[in-house]
Chains A and B, each alone.
Chain A
Amino acid sequence: MDNRIKEYRARHDLTQEDLAKKVNVRRETIVFLEKNKYNPSLKLAHDIAVVFGVTIEEIFIFD
């Protein structure tokens, strides 16, 4: 599973730390997500999509 978190984060001018605080996770989790080293839970994927105001499918690309 690929994702476009980095791209959307840049569009919304958010740092990794800002995004981490908004979705209530550690910054390390955002780093892992952007490096594609972690598949998030449905809740986290939903929270990230809500922050960017898009659907989960727009952020996370399922193979």
Chain B
Amino acid sequence: MKRGFLALLVSVLVLGAAALWFFTAEKSVSATGVIEFGIIIVLVGFGFYFAFRRFSSATRGEPLEDELSKKMIQQTAAWSYYISLYMWVFMIWLKDKMALDTDEVLGAGILSMAVIFLACWIAIKLRGLRNG
């Protein structure tokens, strides 16, 4: 239950911070900014889903975590770690090619890592976890 509340709290804080940045930006938000905001919304949606899942499991009297959910998170973390390594190599190449600022590259990289994690989780959920 604790992790459910934590996921909810983090999601609300991220959403609040992103909304504050989006609506109080002095300059008009660029197209990239809108895309970043959209990605943040998707990630926050995932956070809300995760929290909702835990709350509904708790109300049904099911365990909040079991062997499948633990293995799924482990597998997702492993896959997203490997993919993120290649993503950072690509980011370094992109930084040289497009002369981007370091903070822009870091922001995009962190956001990409979250998207990669989400994509891996969805892929594993669709594919399943079979040995061999």
Which of A4-12, A35-43, A53-61 is the interface stretch?
A35-43
Centre residue among B62, B68, B127 by max chain A CB count within 10 A: B68
B59 within 8 A of A: no
Flag if A26 contacts B128 (CB, 8 Å): no
Indicate whether A25 sits within 8 Å of B131 (C-beta atoms), given known contacts A17-B60, A20-B62: no
CB under 8 Å from chain A, chain B span 19-77: 57, 60-63, 66-69
Q: Bits for A11-43, please: 1 = Cβ < 8 Å to B, else 0.
A: 000000100110011111100100111111100
A-B pairs under 8 A by CB, number: 46
Flag if A32 contacts B128 (CB, 8 Å): yes
- Identify the closest chain A residue to B64 (Cβ): A26
Flag if B68 contacts A26 (CB, 8 Å): yes
Q: How far apart sit A37 and B128, CA to CA, in the bound complex (Å)?
A: 4
- Interface residues, chain B, with chain A CB atoms under 8 Å away: 57, 60-63, 66-69, 127-131
Given pairs A21-B62, A28-B68, A29-B67, 7 additional interface contacts (CB within 8 A): A1-B130, A24-B66, A26-B62, A26-B69, A29-B68, A29-B69, A32-B128
- Interface residues, chain A, with chain B CB atoms under 8 Å away: 1, 17, 20-21, 24-29, 32, 35-41, 44
